[in-house]
Amino acid sequence: MLVFANFSQAALVNCGSYNENGTRQSDCTLGSLIDTVGLIINFLLSWAWLVSILFIVVSGIRMVLSGGNEERLSSAKASLSNAIIGFILILLSFVIINLVIGLFTGGSTLGPNAFLDAFRLIPR
């Protein structure tokens, strides 16, 4: 059985630090709430990014397997273009949301591993 040393390690909310004795050293702030919302949004956008990649691959396979049927080929091309547009929108929204969160909290959440860190949902 896994026992957490304090409540801040067990929660998604990254606020309120505790010392070894379990007494609170600092309170939650509005920045902590904004960071938590940012973590959740980044997690969801990361999964949306993977889904858009899956749709791009499936559309490519549908184009290859169309067998010269113009109707199936045009349907696959339309789904491919929609998947690429969705992919671009997801990446732009990721950048915009993280820049806005960085402006509100006074820090930068965009780093070299920001997109991969969003899969973890671990407070920074």
DSSP assignment string, 36-68: HHHHHHHHHHHHHHHHHHHHHHHHHHHHHTTTT
> Quick check: is 96 in a domain?
yes
> Quick check: is 87 in a domain?
yes
> Quick check: is 11 in a domain?
no
**DSSP for 7-22?**
HHHHSS-----B-TTS
Question: What range does the domain containing 48 cover?
Answer: 30-117
> Quick check: is 1 in a domain?
no
> Quick check: is 13 in a domain?
no
**The pLDDT value given to residue 17:** 63
> Quick check: is 97 in a domain?
yes
pLDDT, tens digit (0-9, with 9 covering 90-100), for 45-79: 989 999 999 999 999 999 999 988 999 999 999 99
Question: Looking at the 3D structure of the chain, how many domains does it have?
Answer: 1
19-23, 66-70, 86-90, 100-104: the lowest-pLDDT one: 19-23
pLDDT, tens digit (0-9, with 9 covering 90-100), for 112-122: 555 555 555 44
> Cα Rg for the chain, rounded, in angstroms?
21
> Quick check: is 46 in a domain?
yes
